[in-house]
Amino acid sequence: MHDTLRCPGCGADLTLPNLPTGQDVQCPRCQTIFEPKRAATNAPLPLRKRPILLDESDDDWPRDPRSLVRPDPLIGQWKAVVAGVALASSVLSYGMQAYLDYEHGRFLKQIQEGGFQAEFPGLFTERMARWARLFHEGTFWPAVVFFLIWIYQASRNLKLLQSAGMLHTPIMSVVYFFVPVMNLYRPYFVMQEIWRGSDPHAVGNSLTWIDAPKGAVVRSWWFFFLAALVLRVASRQLESHVNWESLGTIALMSCLSHLCMVVAGVLLIVIVSAVAIRQRERYARLYAD
């Protein structure tokens, strides 16, 4: 004789042989360990409220996770690749801007020390500066668009990866980047939530990810991003009260701001790549045959 029971972790129906009373069992799907409550032979299972593993408010999402058809590969992984390429192009443009600011500062210093006979140092030319600005505008906005598309997809994948209790929906994960004041801290929490919810080792149940460690790389990314923002705002304030002595300081602050954006961009590429890997590993652990 076999007993039929329902896993309290994922709601899957399990068929087990007769076991001694008090014997614990482990669900092969969600790895939840529990003591089974016996049901009468051939008796229908009572209706019980199961834990909510998925956001069932979406019309296109299955009501029962057991009806999921395993996709292969994980949904939207190509978006991480596109976002990484776009971010790399934007990082290159910020590096060019930092170099131009550096050369501009040297040029101003030469003028202050040797008069107006100084020549443009290094590779700094007005023509190069113009092309660098065009390249920056042509790479910055596509990088922003593809990054936000990736954010939405990565957040939405957490449903498939059975991470429940998220504080940010996929759409709000994108909207927070555009809300004044909130965009100074909410995107950081969004990224940490995606990082922890994608943890491949936190698969005990749908809420295990809450105890997963926060990403140090996410913390570093946000630090350099805020540092770049502060330096940019400070240089703009100096520009509003510009004088000859402050031109060199403005160029230096602008250079440091762009360098911080370069570091933040590189860290963001690392985050995008790491989250994609973590989600694939978590997916494999959850849906392994």
71 is a domain residue: no
Q: Residue 41: what pLDDT?
A: 39
Q: At what angle are helices 216-240 and 247-287 packed, to 10 degrees?
A: 160
261 is a domain residue: yes
141 is a domain residue: yes
Q: Residue 22: what pLDDT?
A: 64
Q: Which has the higher per-residue pLDDT, 285 or 117?
A: 285
Q: What is the mean pLDDT of residues 147-173?
A: 93
Range with the lowest mean pLDDT among 121-125, 140-144, 264-268?
A: 121-125
Residue 220: count other Cβ atoms within 10 Å of its Cβ: 15
Q: Residue 123: what pLDDT?
A: 53
155 and 276, same domain (yes or no): yes
121 and 245, same domain (yes or no): yes
152 and 259, same domain (yes or no): yes
Phi first, then psi, for residue 44 (nearest 5°) are: -65, 145
97 and 180, same domain (yes or no): yes
250 is a domain residue: yes
Structure tokens at 47: 């209706």
Q: At what angle are helices 186-197 and 216-240 packed, to 10 degrees?
A: 160
278 to 36, 64, 76, 151, 283: CA distances (angstroms): 32, 25, 14, 15, 8
Structural domain count of the chain: 2
142 and 208, same domain (yes or no): yes
Q: Is residue 247 over pLDDT 70? A: yes
d(CA 224, CA 230): 10
DSSP secondary structure string for all residues of the chain: -EEEEE-TTT--EEEEE---TT--EE-TTT--EEPPPP--TTPPPPP------S-TTSTTS-SSGGG----SS-TTHHHHHHHHHHHHHHHHHHHHHHHHHHHHHHHHHHHHHHGGGPPPPTT--HHHHHHHHHHHHHHHHHHHHHHHHHHHHHHHHHHHTT----SS-HHHHHHTTTSTTGGGTHHHHHHHHHHHHT-TT--SSTTGGGGSPPPHHHHHHHHHHHHHHHHHHHHHHHHHT--GGGHHHHHHHHHHHHHHHHHHHHHHHHHHHHHHHHHHHHHHHHH--
- Could you tell me the pTM of the whole model? 0.71
45 and 155, same domain (yes or no): no
172 is a domain residue: yes
Sign of CA dihedral 206, 217, 284, 153: positive
11 and 135, same domain (yes or no): no
Please give the span between the terminal C-alpha atoms of the chain, in angstroms, as a whole number.
Answer: 26
169 is a domain residue: yes
265 and 138, same domain (yes or no): yes
111 is a domain residue: yes
32 and 152, same domain (yes or no): no
Per the CB < 8 A criterion, the answer to whether 205 and 9 are in contact is yes
- What is the average pLDDT value for the chain, to the nearest integer? 79
45 and 127, same domain (yes or no): no
64 is a domain residue: no
Q: Residue 73: what pLDDT?
A: 56
Q: Is residue 37 over pLDDT 70? A: no
Q: Which residue range forms the structural domain that includes residue 37?
A: 1-51
108 and 231, same domain (yes or no): yes
26 and 136, same domain (yes or no): no
Predicted confidence (pLDDT) per residue in 75-118, tens digit: 778 899 999 999 999 999 999 989 888 887 777 777 766 655 45
Q: Residue 62: what pLDDT?
A: 42
Distance of CA 39 to the CA centre of its chain: 45
Q: Is residue 267 over pLDDT 90? A: yes
Counting beta carbons within 10 angstroms of the beta carbon of residue 280, is it exposed (0 to 12), middle (13 to 18) or buried (19 or more)? Answer: middle
